[in-house]
Amino acid sequence: MHFCTAFFMSIKQIRNNLSEWHRTIDRKLPWKEDRNPYKIWVSEIILQQTRVAQGIPYYLAFLLKFPTLKHLAEANLEEVITQWEGLGYYSRARNLHKGANYIMETHNGVFPKEYEEILLIPGIGPYTAAAISSFAFDGMHAVVDGNVNRVLSRMFNIDEDLSKHIGKKKIKKLSQDLLEIAGNPASFNQAIMDFGATVCTPKPKCEICPMTKQCVAKKLERTLELPQKKTKPKLRKRWFHYLVYNQNGKSYIVKRVNKDIWKDLFEFPMQECSEIEWKKLEGVKLSQKLSHQHIHACFTEVKKMPIKYKTGQKVDWKNISSYSFPRLIRDYIGQR
């Protein structure tokens, strides 16, 4: 059989098996079956760096606070950051707010339908634009996330690093070919993503997979090798010393404004120090692991704040929980 014909037949069979499999499952998620582009956008941004189970309550709470794009645009950034508290990667919240204002100003509050126009919204890249385009407007754009990468790299035995250009290009071409044969972009994109999330997982459930006959990695016993693992960045360790002013029911807090973790969130006046210095400190010691950093913090209560730290704002302790804090500091406040 000619290679192109065989390739087409393989893709067609995968499409058919995937569609049949998807009809047998009922993966209920609050953003599925919703054609509202604003809600789809919010769900996709939350799920960029958040597990589905963790993301669901945040998604529901966010939409309760900002039920429409207009509500989000009219809110101040502080409100949005506060609502996002606990999800991390706060640039996502800033970009949602910025994007909502962009749509209000550029498109008179109407979410654009065309993929190219969606791509111009601040904080939206090719993946999110494809998701919104296909799920909300039936746009013929393949959605390629980590689940899709895993499924297709195994199905077609793709060895390339999928974080590099060649690997990305191969996966994009395959997923687009599958999508165009399927003819129903929203249904197909959801099916392949669900398949990667529930069957073709990092430890694949090959015993219940309906596509083992088409899976090249299975035939070659390479399912655990693919996709190629990216080298994890080295975890950076940091040591923070917080001075917690506590006098007459008052304290000092400072907003983080530099390009660093927790931008736009509040903290107590802080001095970053060395591990040796940190170990000698007295106070409450807590830690938090981020994706690329491990933060060790020591909170020392003081009755008098050094002059250089008085640039923050003085607040009442009884109102302090109304400000946006990183989880680490929120944990300290909750236990003191």
Which sequence positions are flagged as catalytic?
44
164 in helix, strand or coil? coil
- List strands edge to edge, sheet with 313-316: 266-267, 250-255, 313-316
Q: Closest Cα to residue 15, out of 214, 271, 262? A: 214
User: What is the token pair recorded at 73?
Assistant: 């645009």
The backbone region for 89, taken as left when phi is positive above 0, alpha when psi lies in -120 to 50, beta otherwise, is: left
User: Inter-axis angle of helices 146-155 and 185-198, to 10 degrees?
Assistant: 80
What residues contact residue 152 under an 8 Å CB cut-off, 6+ apart? 158, 171, 174, 175
Please state, in angstroms and rounded to a whole number, the distance separating the CA atoms of residues 323 and 334: 13
- Determine how many CB atoms are found less than 10 A away from the CB of residue 206: 15
Q: For the CA atoms of the chain, what is the radius of gyration?
A: 24
Convert 95-126 to b/e letters by CB count within 10 Å (16 or more is b): bbbbbbbbbbeeeeeebbeebeebbebebbeb
Compute the half-sphere exposure of residue 66: CA atoms within 13 Å on the CB side of its CA: 27
**Amino acid making up residue 51:** R
Helix (H) or strand (E) holding 329: helix 327-335
Please state, in angstroms and rounded to a whole number, the distance separating the CA atoms of residues 197 and 146: 9
Counting every residue written for the chain, the total comes to: 336
Helix (H) or strand (E) holding 137: helix 126-137
CA angle (132, 137, 138) in 5-degree steps: 100
